[in-house]
Amino acid sequence: MYRGHWLTGRADLKDRADTEISQAATEAGPTIDVLSWNCGGLTSARYAELKQWLHMQTPQARPGITIIQETFWKSSSEWEDELFSYVHSGTNRNKEGGLLVIISKQVCQSNLIRYDEIQPGRLLHVRLATEPCTNLLAVYQHSWRSDLSTASKELLLSKRATVWRRIQQFVRGTSARSQLVLAGDFNCPITECLPFVGKGNRRNIRAGHRELPPMAADSDEFLDILKNEDLQVLNSFGKSGLACSTYINASQKPVQGSQIDFIIMRRSQADDGSRCAQLLRDFPLLPIEGMWHYPLRARLPCPRLPRHQMRGQRLTPDSASLALNQQPVKAQQFQQLVAQALDQCADMEGINTALTQSWSQVFGPVRRQRTVHAKDCCLANMWHHRTRATQARSWMARWHHISRYQAIRRTIQQRVRAAKQARLQQQLLDAECASTRGNPGALYQIIRRIAPKLRRRKLQLRDEHGRLLGPRKEAEHILAHYSEVFASASATEDSWLTQPFHFEEMEFQAALSELPLHKALPAHCAPAPLWRWCADTVSSCTARLLKCGLQAGSFRQQWPLEWAISFLCLLPKTDQKLDAVTKLRPISLLHPLGKSFAGMLMYRVRDTIAHKLADTPQFAYLVGRSTADAVDRAVWHIHQTRQRVGQQHTIHHRRAGIPQHEIRGSLTLSIDLRRAFDSIDRCLITKSLEWAGVPTSLVEVIVGIHEAMRVSYTSCSGEALSTATGRGLRQGCRLAPIIWACITGYLMSKLGPLLDQGELRPLLTLFADDTLGQWEIQCKEHLSMALTQVAFLLDFLKAHNLCANTEKSVILIKLAGQFCEDPGLDIVGRRQLYATAVRHLRAMANSPSHISRETTSDLLLRLELPHPADMLLDKTKARHERTSQSQVFALQPQGLTQVWDAVLSSLEVPGRKSPAPSQPAVAVTPPANLSAVTQEDNCPPEPAAENGPEDPVEVIHATPAEVTTPTETTNIFCLQTFLSFKNLTGSRAAVFCM
């Protein structure tokens, strides 16, 4: 009792300025409820508690956007449940930072969410592609500490300055039309500065009150951002003093508090309702003792309500197969209903409609499976004791509720751990049952659930200014890229059939019955089990509509439009930030009827093409051939090379008069083609099929299908854009593999005679779009010829619009003999030399990297020193030039010049032009029969690109070849031939010495 008032343990924390969100704000127009909270570490139990609290809220009281700071989670990921979408950004370090943004699906659907980790774990930009869009920036600034040393303070200030600078750049780069919200822990107090900061701040205290600690040294930078960008702090318009503190340290007496958490938006977009931000002092997840942050909650105005409704659940192939097998009576009714609907079907679009509507009539509409979050009595009891502890009037009652709160919390944590163990054991039992039943699909799904979760990444395309693209701009950017890939400008308007094409109903039914059950289909199509279940009636209707064939004349007038569309889906290639289309792998989804029609054509041409390719070393897409056959062929050559190179030339061989080989070994070229299937010219399809002996009627239909192909991409907002194609195979089609095999056989038939004219014949191995060429080297002339043939092979492929991927294409070479000594420093040696020099330089400059955090490039720039390799190379070249001009150089042997060339080449830094050798390099002149690629086809070659800067050749010396006897010549010949190979190919090549 003090001055007639009861004071509880936390009475001094009671907020006299707690203002409920005004009713006028909710009546003024649509709003977004934003909750921001620094949780101080989000454990698995605490995350489950937070998720339970969110799901237990009523739709009216549920936050639309929840921003959690300081999760201490390392990895970045995204996921969703039935009510919320989650985006997390981690720092990849233990117990440091971490931002979690939770978005209700009532505010924005998951497919309309884009995000950018501006600074992982510190700044997370989330964009809601509504109309207009909403840009959220979750902030967690580095904590300010005044007890650090001067050097540590400077380092901390530089880190904080980076965050301030990126915040200002983000605000300036956001359009004025979109909604802008900044929320989080800024770790920087503020002072009154109307109209940007109101009077309700912690620094605004009455005279005579206890003086507050000094503010952060960079607090003016934060205030300048608010002024310059016309931003307003929403939670600064209530009561001042301790009542507005967002961070509380209850362990100190008297209780200390600071205001460092804020919700900020543009002053022009804020209204009276949004400025009534509320501190949730009774938030059930807050601890009882110690330190904590209060959550901030505000209702922000939004221009419009979300225009996209909740998406319905699609019928999956697994659920369809399960329903058809477990309910045979309904399955029979479904089949009969489909047959009745197809009797009256007048076009191809009606077939898919009949399947989907019949399914809904028999099995009912597909309902979304929701997880019911029942009210947990134990959890509610814990929250009840926490609330009673804050309101207790005596210390004994407070102690009672705190002890009960802690006991229940320990019980909940034990239950969470036990539930996780039980769930894992059940998953292992299910996996064992799936393995016993021989169901690899179910086993794989269980393993995916048990294994560490893979990071889900969304497409985050940007414009030329680095800004995130909206849904429509994103779709236009993607379609423009693939219009260039598929040469849409050269697409033909129509193709013509000179002969009619006929097929049987049973033939089409057999192809439709083999439609894979679990293969993806376009979103508007019924799942594959429905097509296979009704294959007989669907085939009969299709044959009736097509009149069992295609007549002579225009192909596109007879070909259904839906069958011609390839629906584009993009999958990530690598674990990288998806900010470019080139980092995505496209797959095409085709209409099931068009896919089955192509399968019917595949069965007709497969035997003819396989017979023609009997002597072609293509080991993919052909019956009776596998990957193991291609591996055996390649390994055999490597084995022969090792045996041949490993033979020692001993003194007994010399005594017997057996000469030593000047050079022997092998060269292996592995070519990976860039976008091979998408770069095929249509005339090449025609010529390869005619070469294989495919009937003309089939050739015309196959080419017509490809020329009628259109690529369509649907944006996340549901808008579909499409473009025609002028080249490329129809990926996802059952015809594509066998046609590619036919094309490679046709190219091999032209390439083989040209390569077999010389003395050296390569061993070629093909598997899908990978080409492996292997050459046996017996002399210097063989090496020169092999490099010439390598250049010719690359030019031959390029002439047919097949370009090598320079990042994945490599050369493996192993040589031994008199001309194969160690050329000097390789890349590993240069790196060791560089590391040693930098280590000594840092010691002399007193700049250890783990203390100063100064990069080597910054250190060299600060000390005005050149690169160690450059310095060594310049000194060596200067010494060589000085010595070569003196009289003593005339006394040296002639081979010393080659030694100097090898030394200078080994010291050359990659990317820098090599010094000219003192003697002329070995000239590699291609034979007359390989000097040019014959243009027998009507396909024009791809225009050659302009000569750019010369690309370096990486000579990676892995293991030196065994040399029988030392000689006085070096391996400069090999280096020169490598340079000659680079000049011939004009591409970056990685050369490995085995």
Range of weakest confidence among 267-281, 372-386, 461-475: 372-386
Question: Tell me, what's the pLDDT at 148?
Answer: 86
Q: State mean pLDDT over 669-677.
A: 90
Name the pLDDT band for 904 (thresholds 50, 70, 90): low
Q: Does residue 156 lie within any of the structural domains?
A: yes
Q: State mean pLDDT over 283-291.
A: 86
Domain boundary among 249, 268, 301: 301
Name the pLDDT band for 291 (thresholds 50, 70, 90): confident
Range of weakest confidence among 472-481, 532-541, 733-742, 932-941: 932-941
The answer on 683 and 582 residing in a single domain is yes
pLDDT higher than threshold 50 for residue 940: no
The answer on 582 and 491 residing in a single domain is yes
The answer on 679 and 614 residing in a single domain is yes
Q: Hey, which of 48-57, 65-74, 253-262 has the most confident mean pLDDT?
A: 65-74
Question: Tell me, what's the pLDDT at 963?
Answer: 31
Q: Does residue 754 lie within any of the structural domains?
A: no
The answer on 479 and 441 residing in a single domain is no
pLDDT higher than threshold 70 for residue 587: yes
pLDDT higher than threshold 90 for residue 991: no
| Higher-confidence position of 64 and 935 | 64
Place of tokens 């100063």: 852
pLDDT higher than threshold 60 for residue 150: yes
Q: Which residues contact 662 (CB under 8 A, 6 or more apart)?
A: 779, 780, 817, 818, 819
Q: Does residue 973 lie within any of the structural domains?
A: no
Domain boundary among 740, 770, 790: 740
Tokens of 729: 């195979």
CA 731 from chain centre, in angstroms, equals 21
Q: State mean pLDDT over 164-186.
A: 90
Question: Tell me, what's the pLDDT at 703?
Answer: 93
- The pTM of the full predicted model, rounded to 2 decimals, is 0.65
Interval 475-498: pLDDT, tens? 888 999 898 989 888 888 888 899
Report whether 492 contacts 505 (CB < 8 A). no
The answer on 388 and 507 residing in a single domain is no
Tokens of 169: 């750049």
Q: State mean pLDDT over 324-344.
A: 91
| Higher-confidence position of 468 and 224 | 224
The answer on 86 and 168 residing in a single domain is yes
Question: Tell me, what's the pLDDT at 368?
Answer: 59
DSSP string, 717-731: TS-EEEEE-SB---T
Report whether 799 contacts 979 (CB < 8 A). no
The answer on 499 and 446 residing in a single domain is no
The answer on 170 and 55 residing in a single domain is yes
Q: What is the mean pLDDT of the chain?
A: 80
Number of domains in the chain: 3
Name the pLDDT band for 210 (thresholds 50, 70, 90): low
The answer on 485 and 436 residing in a single domain is no
CB-count exposure of residue 873 (10 Å: 0-12, 13-18, 19+) = buried
Burial profile 364-398: b = 16 or more Cβ within 10 angstroms, e = fewer: eeeeeeeeeeeebeebeebbebbebbbebeeeeeb
The answer on 490 and 520 residing in a single domain is yes
pLDDT higher than threshold 80 for residue 990: no
Question: Tell me, what's the pLDDT at 908?
Answer: 59
Report whether 777 contacts 759 (CB < 8 A). no
Give the gyration radius of the chain's Cα atoms. Answer: 36
Establish whether the linkage from the previous residue to 195 is cis, with ω within 30° of 0.
yes
Q: Hey, which of 285-289, 724-728, 866-870 has the most confident mean pLDDT?
A: 724-728
The answer on 175 and 102 residing in a single domain is yes
Interval 14-36: pLDDT, tens? 333 344 444 444 445 678 899 99
The H-or-E segment that residue 371 falls in is: none
Rounded Cα distance between 972 and 823, Å, is 7
CATH number of residue 150's parent domain: 3.60.10.10
Question: Tell me, what's the pLDDT at 50?
Answer: 92
Q: Does residue 830 lie within any of the structural domains?
A: no
Rounded Cα distance between 32 and 63, Å, is 8
Report whether 293 contacts 223 (CB < 8 A). no
Share of the chain above pLDDT 70, in %: 80
Full residue range of the structural domain in which residue 178 is found = 22-301
Rounded Cα distance between 104 and 294, Å, is 21
Q: Does residue 979 lie within any of the structural domains?
A: no
Rounded Cα distance between 674 and 193, Å, is 59
Q: Does residue 446 lie within any of the structural domains?
A: yes
Task: List phi, psi (to 5°) of 686.
Answer: -65, -50
Question: Tell me, what's the pLDDT at 375?
Answer: 55
Question: Tell me, what's the pLDDT at 288?
Answer: 80
The answer on 82 and 32 residing in a single domain is yes
Range of weakest confidence among 163-177, 311-325, 508-522, 852-866: 311-325
Choose among 138, 59, 66, 67: nearest CA to 106: 59
Rounded Cα distance between 570 and 563, Å, is 20
Q: Does residue 864 lie within any of the structural domains?
A: no
pLDDT higher than threshold 50 for residue 418: yes
Domain boundary among 450, 479, 505: 450
pLDDT higher than threshold 50 for residue 7: no
Interval 846-900: pLDDT, tens? 888 888 888 888 888 888 888 777 777 787 778 777 767 765 556 556 566 666 6
| Higher-confidence position of 382 and 167 | 167
Using the 8-state DSSP alphabet, how is residue 621 labeled? S
Report whether 181 contacts 134 (CB < 8 A). yes
Range of weakest confidence among 30-39, 267-276, 455-464, 718-727: 455-464
Q: Does residue 287 lie within any of the structural domains?
A: yes
